[in-house]
Amino acid sequence: MQQVTLTVNGREVTAEIDERTLLLEFVREVAGFTGAHNGCLEARCGCCAIEVDGEITKSCNVLAVQVDGAEVTTVEGLAPQRLAPVEHVTTQSLAGMYAPLEAVRTRAEDLHPLQEAFHRCHALQCGFCTPGMLMVLKGHLEENPEPTRDGVRHAIAGNLCRCTGYQHIVDAAMEAAEVMRGDAPVPADG
Amino acid sequence: MTEAPPRTAGPGPAATGPRLVGTSVPRKEDLALLTGTARFIDDIRLPGMVHATILRSTVAHARVRSIDTAPARAVPGVLDVLAGAELVGKVKPWGDLMQDLLVGDHFPFATDKVLYEGQELAAVVAGTRYQALDGCEAVAVDLEELPAVVDPEQALRPDAPLVQERIVYEFGEGNVFDRYRVRVGDFAAAERDAAVVVRQRFTTNKQAGAALDPHGCVASHDPFTGVLTLWSSTQSVYMVRDVLADVLQIPRTKVRVMVPEVGAGFGSKAQMFGHEVIAALFSMRLGRPVKLVLRRDEIFRAGTTRNSQVRYAELAMAADGEITGYRDYVVHNTGAMSVWGNQVVHIGTNVGMLPYPIPNVHVDSDIVHTTTAPGGPLRGFGIPQTVWAKEQLVDMAARELGLDPLAVRERNVVDPATFPYRTPMGQVIDSTSIKQCLTACAEAIDWAAKRAAPVPHEGLGLAVSMKYTSCRHPSLDTDLSAVRLRLETDGTVTIYSSDVSHGQSHATMLSQIVADGLGVGIEKVTLAPPDSMTAPFGLGTYASRGAAVLGTACRLATERLRDKVLAIAAHVLEVGPGDLDTGNDRVFVKGLPDSGIYLEILAATAAYRTHQLPPDFEPTLETVATYDTPTEREASDGSGNLSVTYSGAAHAAHVRVDPETGRVTVVDYAMVHDTGTVINPLVVEGQHQGGFLMGMGMALSEDYVYDENGHQLNASFKDYLAVTAPEVPELTRMSEIPAPSTTIPGGQKGAGESGTGPVPAAIGNAVLDATGIRFTALPITPQRMLTALREKERRGVETLRYPDDMPDFTGPRCPDEWPSPTAAEADDFDFDFDFDLDPEEGA
Ligand code: FES
Ligand code: FES
Q: How far is CA A174 from the centre of its chain?
A: 16
**How far does the centroid of ligand 2 lie from the alpha carbon of residue B99, in Å?**
33
Tell whether A18 is covered by a domain. yes
Residues 262-321 of chain B with CB under 8 A from chain A are: 262-264, 266, 293, 295-296
- CB-CB neighbors (< 8 A) of B584 in chain A: 95-96
CB B517 within 8 A of CB B750: no
- Span B800-818, average pLDDT: 62
- Asked if the model's pLDDT at residue B146 lies above 50, the reply is yes
Contacts of A85 in chain B (CB under 8 A): 31-32, 35, 37
B1 and A CB contact within 8 Å: no
**How high is the pLDDT of residue B835?**
38
Intrachain domains B30-38+480-628 and B42-146+214-260+269-302 with the same fold: no
Q: How many CB pairs under 8 A join A and B?
A: 254
Which pLDDT belongs to residue A111?
Answer: 86
Q: Which domain holds residue A20?
A: 2-77
Q: How far apart are CA B160 and CA B147, in angstroms?
A: 9
**Do A29 and A72 fall within a single domain?**
yes
Ligand nearest to the CA of B694: 2
> In chain B, what residues touch A37 (CB-CB under 8 Å)?
40, 42, 212-213, 263
How far is residue B15's CA from residue B11's CA, in Å, rounded to a whole number? 8
Given a contact cutoff of 8 angstroms between Cβ atoms, the answer to whether B777 and B804 are in contact is yes
Q: Which of B323, B303, B298 is nearest to B313 (CA)?
A: B323
Contact B758, B465 (CB under 8 A): yes
What SS3 state is found at B450? helix
Which residues numbered 199-218 in B keep a CB inside 8 Å of some CB on A?
A: 209-214
For residues B463 and B541, what is the distance between their CA atoms, to the nearest angstrom? 27
Higher pLDDT, B393 or B834: B393
pLDDT at B649: 98
Question: For the CA atoms of chain A, what is the radius of gyration?
Answer: 18
Lining ligand 1 with CB less than 6 A are A 38-41, 43-48, 58, 60
A43 inside domain:
yes
CA distance B522 to B508: 8
B137 touches chain A (CB under 8 A): no
Terminal CA-to-CA distance of chain A, rounded, Å? 50
Task: Inform me whether the pLDDT recorded for B98 exceeds 80.
Answer: no
CATH assignment of the domain containing A134 = 1.10.150.120
Of A98-112, B85-99, B184-198, which range is least confident? Answer: A98-112
Q: Residue B34 and residue A118: Cβ atoms within 8 Å?
A: yes
Q: Residue B295 CA: which ligand is closest? A: 1
Distance CA B738, CA B678 (A): 8
- The CA B489 to ligand 1 mean position distance, Å, reads 45
**Which residue of B29, B30, B212, B502 sits with most ligand 2 atoms within 8 Å of its CB, as the best mutation to test the pocket?**
B212
- For a pLDDT cut of 70, what percent of chain A falls above it? 81
Is residue A48 in a domain?
A: yes
What number is the average pLDDT over the span B262-270?
96
Ligand 1 site-directed mutation target among A22, A25, A28, A45, most atoms within 8 Å of CB: A45
Write the burial class of residue B716 (CB in 10 Å: 0-12 exposed, 13-18 middle, 19+ buried). middle
Top-tier CATH class for B179-208+304-473+634-817: alpha beta
What mean pLDDT comes out for the span B732-752?
A: 97
Domain assignment present for A27: yes
pLDDT mean over B766-773:
98
Any ligand 2 atom below 6 A from CB of B503: yes
Residue A74 Cβ contacting ligand 2 at under 6 Å: no
Identify the residue whose C-alpha is closest to ligand 2 atom 4. Answer: A161
Per-residue pLDDT reduced to its tens digit, B631-641:
999 999 999 99
| Distance (Å) from the alpha carbon of B256 to chain A's nearest alpha carbon | 23
The SS3 of residue B74 is coil
Q: Say yes or no to pLDDT of B482 above 80.
A: yes
Is A100 a member of any domain?
no
CA dihedral A83, A84, A87, A91 (to 10 degrees): -80
B530: Cα within 13 Å, side-chain hemisphere: 32
Region A148-153 average pLDDT: 98
Q: Which is the closest atom of ligand 1 to the Cα of A60?
A: 2
Parallel, antiparallel, or unpaired: how do β-strands B360-368 and B375-376 relate? Answer: unpaired
Q: What's the whole-number mean pLDDT along residues A129-150?
A: 98
Q: Which of B28, B264, B731 sits opposite A167 (nearest CB)?
A: B731
CA atoms of B284 and B545, how far apart (whole Å): 35
Please check whether residue B7 touches A, CB under 8 A. Answer: yes
Give the pLDDT confidence score for residue B102 in this predicted structure.
Answer: 61
Q: How confident is the model at residue A90 (pLDDT cuts 50, 70, 90)?
A: very low
For every residue of B101-157, DSSP letters joined together read S----B-SS-SSEE-STT-EEEEEEESSHHHHHHHHHH-EEEEEE-----SHHHHHS
A120 and A173 fall within a common domain? yes
The residues spanned by each domain of chain B are 30-38+480-628, 42-146+214-260+269-302, 179-208+304-473+634-817
Q: What integer pLDDT is reported at residue A80 of this predicted model?
A: 60
Residue B806 has pLDDT above 70, yes or no: no
- Total number of domains in chain A: 2
Assign residue A73 the CATH number of its domain: 3.10.20.30
In this structure, whether the domain defined by B42-146+214-260+269-302 belongs to CATH 3.90.1170.50 is answered with: yes
Give me the residues paired with residue A72 across strands.
A8, A52
Q: Cβ–Cβ of B728/A75 closer than 8 Å?
A: no
What is the pLDDT at residue B514?
Answer: 97
Band (pLDDT 50/70/90 cuts) for residue A185 is low
Q: Are the Cβ atoms of B686 and A168 closer than 8 angstroms?
A: yes
Q: DSSP label at B106?
A: B
Return d(Cα B384, Cα B206) in angstroms, integer: 12
Helix, strand or coil, per DSSP, at residue B68: strand
Contacts of B70 (CB under 8 A, 6+ apart): none
Q: What is the pLDDT of residues B509-534, one digit of tens each?
A: 999 999 999 999 998 999 999 999 99
Is residue A13 domain-shared with residue A73, that is, in the same domain?
A: yes
**Single residue among A59, A77, A95 that ends a domain in this structure:** A77
Q: Report how far apart, in Å, the C-alpha atoms of A81 and of each of A65, A110, A111, B77, B272 are.
A: 30, 7, 8, 40, 39
The verdict on A14 and A70 lying in the same domain is yes
Percent of chain B whose pLDDT exceeds 90:
87
pLDDT grade, residue B474 (50/70/90)?
Answer: confident
Which of A39, A62, A77 marks a domain boundary?
Answer: A77
- Cα A129 to averaged position of ligand 1 atoms, centre (Å): 10
Average model confidence (pLDDT) across chain B: 92
Put simply, the answer to whether A125 touches B686 (Cβ < 8 Å) is: yes
pLDDT value at B153 more than 60? yes
B30-38+480-628 has which fold? Aldehyde Oxidoreductase; domain 4 (3.30.365)
Query: In B, which residues are within 8 Å of A8 by CB distance?
Result: none
Segment B562-582, tens digit of pLDDT: 999 999 999 999 999 999 999
- C-alpha distance from A56 to closest chain B C-alpha (Å): 17
Stated as kind and residue range, the H or E segment containing B328 is strand B323-333
Range of A25-39, B97-111, B807-821 with top mean pLDDT: A25-39
**Distance between CA atoms of residues B726 and B742, nearest Å:** 40
In a domain, A128, yes or no: yes
Mutate one of A41, A122, A152 to test the B interface: name it (highest B CB count within 10 A). Answer: A122
> pLDDT higher for B252 or B173?
B252
Query: Residue B210, CB half-sphere, CA atoms under 13 Å: how many?
Result: 29
Is B770 a residue whose pLDDT tops 80? yes
pLDDT band at A186 (very low <50, low <70, confident <90, very high): low
Q: Choose, out of A163, A171, A174, the residue to mutate when testing the contact with B (most B CBs < 10 Å).
A: A163
Question: Which residue from B443, B291, B435 is spatially nearest to B355, judged by alpha carbons?
Answer: B435
For A18-28, the pLDDT digits (tens) are: 899 999 999 99
Q: Give the number of the atom of ligand 2 that is nearest the alpha carbon of residue B263.
A: 2
Q: Does B522 touch chain A (CB under 8 A)?
A: yes
Cα separation, A24 vs B220, in Å, equals: 25
Ligand 1 atom closest to the Cα of residue A44 is: 3
Q: pLDDT, tens digit, for every residue of B231-241?
A: 999 999 999 99
Do the domain assignments include residue A85? no
- A118 and A170 in one domain? yes
Percent of chain B with pLDDT over 70: 92
Q: Is the CB of B212 under 6 A from ligand 2?
A: yes
pLDDT reported for residue A97: 33
> How many beta carbons lie within 10 A of that of residue A89, not counting itself?
14
pLDDT of amino acid B96: 64
**A92 contacts B600? CB cut-off 8 A:** yes
In a domain? residue A56 = yes
Residue A147 has pLDDT above 90, yes or no: yes
B809 confidence band (pLDDT: 50, 70, 90): low
Interface test with A, best of B523, B594, B701, B756 (most A CBs within 10 A): B523
The least confident of A142-151, B198-207, B245-254, B338-347 is B338-347
Do A7 and A72 sit in the same domain of this protein?
yes
